[in-house]
Amino acid sequence: MASRTSQLEAVNIILSAVGEPPITSLDDANGADAAIANNVLTEVSNEIQSMGWHFNTVREVELAPDAGDSNRIPLASNIVRVDLETQHTGDMDVVQRGDYLYDRKGKTDVFGSTVKATVVYVLEWTQLPEPARRLINTRAARIFQDRMVGSGDHHSFTMQDEFNAMVSLKEYEGNTAGHSIFGHYDTFRSLDRNTIRAI
């Protein structure tokens, strides 16, 4: 019976891309190659998750000013993207700046009230769905192999694997996210306005 790829298995798959022997636990990832493989896995996980997927994106997250921090809104270290949805922007144009939320329009990181935003988080390996693990693992193996060996033949082979893994993740995204034009606030607002006019 198939099971989700563990982080240890992922590191060993990366090592196998250059013919290195497997390690028996992540505690053994102290050797140069194993440590690099683990670091590349983390690097690629951050990169892929930063794109924002259904599994790591949460809408309507309340972000509150910290009175003890001069009313700035601190952001958790695993937040990689923050975006106010259209219905909540008002006169603000917020972005993530360092560890805090920043209003580009008002040129300030001080907020007088809680804001609601769509937030993209970087999740731990154990929290990722298998299609995401597969893409991250495949891309990490290709990058690791390119950096350590640089074989064109291996690169061509794993690029195809990476493409297939991306297709699988996008299919998973389409099946689980329930995307619809009617789920987008701007579309809803436009349709709602037209409905009122028709009445």
Q: Which of 32, 82, 34 is CA-nearest to residue 61?
A: 82
pLDDT digits (tens, 9 = 90+) for 78-103: 999 999 877 766 778 899 999 999 99
User: Looking at the domain assignment, is residue 115 inside a domain?
Assistant: yes
pLDDT at 192 over 60: no
If asked whether residues 117 and 150 sit together in one domain, one would say no
Range of the domain at 132: 7-50+128-177
Question: Within a domain: residue 184?
Answer: no
Percentage, residues of the chain above pLDDT 70? 82
Domain contains 194: no
Pick the closest to residue 135 from 26, 47, 28 (CA basis): 47
Q: How many domains does the chain have?
A: 2
Please state the pTM of the whole predicted model. Answer: 0.81
Whether the per-residue pLDDT at 104 is higher than 50: the answer is: yes
CA-wise closest residue to 73 among 114, 39, 130, 41: 114
Domain shared by 20 and 44, yes or no: yes
Full strand arrangement of the beta sheet holding 79-83: 57-63, 115-121, 79-83
Which of residues 175 and 191 earns the better pLDDT score? 175
| Model pLDDT, residue 193 | 54
pLDDT at 167: 96
Indicate if 106 and 91 belong to the same structural domain.
yes
Q: Are 82 and 117 in contact (CB under 8 A)?
A: yes
The reply to whether 190 falls in a domain is no
